[in-house]
Chain A
Amino acid sequence: SQQGEEDPQALSIQEGENATMNCSYKTSINNLQWYRQNSGRGLVHLILIRSNEREKHSGRLRVTLDTSKKSSSLLITASRAADTASYFCAPGANSKLTFGKGITLSVRP
């Protein structure tokens, strides 16, 4: 299955600290996307990284992709209380995304 598996399941940090979230998958992909979901809301697209890319930045976000290890990481720098949410990685192949259970990030003010 190409379902992403996020690690850790939950992460609690202090405002200003960096948050690192990891994702692993099992099959070949075309791209991998990271999403954020606030409680009871839809998903917000954060960043897409293609299989031929190794690193991508967007504001305070940094995503890496290692296709040899079938893993990706999402780094949020200088976290804010507003970053508190669930984060999902979604490996993409054959035009479909498959979501894991997500990581619950809590940023303490």
Chain B
Amino acid sequence: GAVVSQHPSWVICKSGTSVKIECRSLDFQATTMFWYRQFPKQSLMLMATSNEGSKATYEQGVEKDKFLINHASLTLSTLTVTSAHPEDSSFYICSARGGLAGGGGTDTQYFGPGTRLTVL
């Protein structure tokens, strides 16, 4: 199946710093990538949808200036948490969707392994 990687897998940072998380589709071209966050034992909440070469579409309640998303190529999207605070601590997961990825066609989203962010 299609493989999506995330880097780093975990990060600890001080309050006020910025953290960048990378999401890569390794064996297919991802026309669309999604960013989610998940609190312990909770559902995944969609934060934003990004299409290669265009601005991300953010879900209601998600601060665009705080969570900067760049989808610079068909295999890479980045999420930058700016001026991170303890309440931003969470599990961030990306997913990618493309054509014929893993045989799943264009509807299937393939998820990365997630990034655990802890803000002190």
Contacts and interface: CB of A to CB of B under 8 A. Distances in A.
A42 B113 CA distance: 4
Interface in A23-39: 30-31, 33, 35
A35 B111 contact: yes
A87 interface: no
Interface residues of A, number: 23
Interface string A21-63: 0000000001101010000111111001010000000000000
B16 to A, nearest CB: 26
A101 B46 contact: no
Contacts of B105: 48
B64 interface: no
Interface residues of B, number: 29
Contact of B43 (A31, A88, A95): A88
B85 interface: no
Q: Interface centre among A33, A43, A96, A100, by most B CB within 10 Å?
A: A43
A45 B91 CA distance: 18
Given A31-B107, A48-B107, A96-B49, A88 B44 contact: yes
B35 interface: no
Interface in B56-89: none
Nearest to A48: B108
A102 B43 contact: yes
B6 interface: yes
B117 interface: no
Contacts of B45: 99
Nearest to A44: B111
A5 B97 CA distance: 23
A75 interface: no
A95 B116 contact: no
Nearest to A97: B109
Interface string A85-109: 0001000100111111110000000
8 contacts: A33-B109, A40-B114, A44-B111, A45-B111, A92-B107, A96-B46, A101-B42, A101-B43
Interface of A: 3, 30-31, 33, 35, 40-45, 48, 50, 88, 92, 95-102
